[in-house]
Chain A
Amino acid sequence: MKKQHNNKSQSNSEYLRLLAGYMIFCLIVLVVVAFLLSRYIRNNNTTQINNILSLMSEKVNTSFEMMVDYTTEAADIISAQKEIDFEENYEELQKTLRDMPYVSIGMLSADGTVYGSDGEKMDIEKQGFVEIASQLDGVYISEPYRSSVTAGNMITIFAPVHQSGRQVGSLFATYYLETIQNLANTNVLSDQTTVLLMNPYSGNFVNCSSDGTNPPGTWSNLRLIQKDIKCLNGYDYDVWVEDMKNNATDNIINFQLNGISYSQAYIHIKGMNNWQLVIRIPIAELSDTMQRFIISVSVCAGLLVLATIVVAAILYHNEHNKSEKLKNLSNADPLTKILNRRGFEGTLKKMFNNKAELGKSTYMFLDVDLFKNVNDQYGHEAGDYVLCAVSSILEETFKDTGIVGRVGGDEFNVFIYAPLTVEEIDSLLAAVRARLSELVLKDGTPLPISFSGGLARYPQDAKDLTELVNCADQALYYVKEHGRKNHFWYSDLK
């Protein structure tokens, strides 16, 4: 039994090793796939971001041109008038304020008169716009400045007003810087996109939206951040700034600033001297999304592997139980439920295959005396009853010390693997004999039974199983020859 248990453990550990191997294999596959996917996404990510950036730049450019168009179209309408009355036009323009994206709109005549609010007049004078507006050669867009009226940061767009081919004044519209930022807003990455106005000559740049700390219109200078910029695509930041001066078209740069990777491109603004619109998207934002995707996929795959292992374990367990049952059926005696000849000999062979673990042991042949008479006298049912009784008494007696098998009609074999002494075994057999002598049929009829037994010891009497069986057989033969109802040791034959 112990051996059987050992074999079962061996089979289980094999199964566990198989499972562990499977898990390790799955984990390795998962890690490799996640790594390859991550690398693929990282490479692809930059390309995608650059594509998004190009599209976004196009959108901002178009929207910004529309913003400029509002002003130039209004100026053109006024220029088409035969007689231009600045005051009257100013009043009319105020009516458009509600529907248009500008904050204020006004006019400037050639003599420097400003048609606008007092605050606008103050700003136009302070910023030196009167002189600039008097010599316009097309649209002019101011640098960002702080409005006296609202304290917000604005830009002003000027468009010339002509009469008879001569500039007689200009029309101006002021916009909050946030308006430019809003041009870049899309459903995708809307809160991560930054729009800047940048001047490559001065190195100044102005943010068009709040970054949480600084309001829109906060100025800064490249000299203060350039040393912290790390270029990622081999496109040097200095070169990029130089390209900006020359309006080079292929101008997407990837760089890292304060640990965050960005993709950035510029758009030339017509009318805004030396200033360019810069669109910036953090590359990490998309990467994070993809990283989350990879983690989700990995977790799902991991769970799938786990589920596979659980299902495999359940299937194995069921299969194992089934095969155990089948094995038991083929090795068991259907009447007494103990091992049959095949089961007994098979178990015994396995034990003797590993002799190193086998200690001093005893083999016993046991025949029920005159069993045929029981069958003849009391019927087969009684005979079966006797066989079952003998089996169960032997099983109980050698429960922890040996194995019992029914190897023929009334023949039983017992192999005692525990190192019991001759006296101990004699004593156990005496008890068996006593119990069998008191056997009673179901109807109360006493049916005293006796047995004959032959015993041989290993390794004292024999070196192997065949020899041992032979010795025990000789001892049994001796008992049968000398009146049955007894057991005899092979060693006593010598």
Chain B
Amino acid sequence: MKKIKWLKYFCFFLICTMGVLGGCQEKEDDESAEKEYYAFEAATEIKDGQPDVYVILKVLTSQYWQDIVRGIADAAEEKGCNVYVGASVGEGDWEIQKKLLQQAAAGEADAILMSPGDSTMLSDTVADLHNQGIPVVLIDTILNNTDSFDTCYMTDNLQAGELAAQEMIRLLRDKGVSEEEPVGIAIQIATISSQTVIDRLAGFSQYWSSNAPRQWTILDEVKLNDGDMAVAKQNCIDFLESYPEIKGVFGCNNSSTVGFVQGLTELDRKDVILVGFDYADETAALVGSEEWQASTVVQNQYNMGYEGMMKAYAVMNGEDAGYKFIDTGTKVISRENHIEYEQNLAGETK
């Protein structure tokens, strides 16, 4: 028995040494060349005796992801957990995320919070870790073809799309557009490979087909911009030049919305209503303006992080995970409530 115990210590030492060496190498590489990925870094004060929670995100650069990290860190401080955050550089780089998952397992993670960059390719790895007894909570994106995770906190994008359509109809009615007047709605998305934006488009179309007057139609042509704002702006200009019946535009994601904002501003088309997603500075400016009619749908990303961390802590402590899917909700930010929303944001940031 004593021999086995010594063997265990030796193996542990070996793994730690390899991990440290590997980490050093990673750091050197990061400094010498372009960053391949964000290696795990502490997001809270690390204290001995506290459980270690590893967070693996798609990216870390945008405000959206930083809000999620803030939510996680706040919940971890409340519950007394150490949080390490790592991420890939490209949103779909699942191989890096797989590597981070393996590092988290080697680091004896007490729980993992993850936003999968690929809903299919990471299913097996996550399921393996979960089957080993590590609590796994997903945030922002769900995994396909497996239910080997505890809970997923994400936006119900179908409903978010419906909310956007509802807001578009409200704004058109507020503007006094007659139900008999032909209305065209232009839609722009980033890419057809993102289920998130497709769900928003589908939700929008679904609500529109059931609730909009017959004469108000969505254009058959949907333009793509691959996340490139310049393309998105040009798409907006092309739409307005080709379809004189356009009275509203809908951007299914941040780049599409900002592209519409830039295009409308350049052409000074204040007669066109904008409904978009996320709260980029340009979008916020248009939403707050008295001259424009614009609204945007925002997600509750801070809550995704916060609630996700709370759930991970609960599962760590033996509680039942409960529901597999929790919709963290969305809300429409319009001229009427944007000040309140910005104040809340400022409050969260503090």
Contact = CB atoms under 8 A, between A and B. Distances in A.
Real complex partners, A and B? yes
Interface of A: 119, 122, 126, 143, 145-152, 199, 201-204, 210, 212-215, 218-221, 223-224, 226, 274
Contacts of A143: 206
A421 to B, nearest CB: 92
A203 B206 CA distance: 8
A219 B153 CA distance: 19
A219 B221 CA distance: 18
B208 A224 contact: no
Contact of B145 (A146, A210, A274): A210
B327 interface: yes
B323 A274 contact: no
B77 to A, nearest CB: 28
On chain B, which size bracket covers the interface?
A: 20 to 34
Interface in B182-204: 187, 192, 195, 198-199, 201-202
B326 interface: yes
Contacts of A220: 198, 202
A222 B84 CA distance: 42
Which of A143, A150, A215, A218 has the largest count of B CB atoms less than 10 A from its CB?
A215
Nearest to B207: A202
B56 to A, nearest CB: 19
B323 A119 contact: yes
Given A147-B325, A223-B218, A224-B198, 7 more contacts: A122-B323, A148-B326, A148-B327, A151-B142, A219-B158, A224-B192, A226-B220
Nearest to A145: B158
A149 B195 CA distance: 21
Contacts of B289: none
Interface in B150-176: 152, 156, 158-159
Contacts of A149: 323-324
B102 interface: no
Contacts of A204: 202, 205-206
A236 to B, nearest CB: 13
Contacts of B218: 223
Nearest to B327: A126
B29 interface: no
A214 B220 contact: no
Contacts of A218: 195
Nearest to B142: A151
B325 A146 contact: yes
A221 B209 contact: no
Contacts of B20: none
Contacts, number: 78
B92 to A, nearest CB: 13
Nearest to A119: B323
Contact of B156 (A146, A212, A215): A146
A28 B258 CA distance: 64
A151 B325 contact: yes
Nearest to A219: B202
A215 B120 CA distance: 9
15 contacts: A151-B152, A199-B209, A201-B209, A202-B202, A202-B208, A203-B209, A212-B120, A213-B120, A213-B144, A220-B198, A221-B201, A221-B222, A223-B205, A223-B220, A274-B209
A210 B123 CA distance: 14
Contact of B198 (A122, A126, A199, A221): A221
Given A148-B326, A150-B324, A210 B202 contact: no
Contact of B205 (A119, A150, A202, A214): A202
Contact of A214 (B144, B158, B206, B323): B144
A224 B190 CA distance: 12
A152 B142 CA distance: 11
Interface string B307-339: 000000000000000011111000000000000
A215 B199 CA distance: 13
A224 B201 contact: yes
Contacts of B159: 126
A404 B152 CA distance: 106
A226 B220 CA distance: 9
Interface string B208-239: 11100000001011100000000000000000
Contacts of A212: 120
A368 to B, nearest CB: 102
Nearest to A122: B323
A148 B323 contact: yes
Contacts of A150: 147, 324-325
Complex A-B, nearest 8 residue pairs according to Cβ-Cβ distance, in ascending order: A151-B324, A202-B209, A201-B209, A151-B325, A219-B202, A215-B144, A202-B205, A148-B323
Contacts of B209: 199, 201-203, 274
Contacts of A145: 158
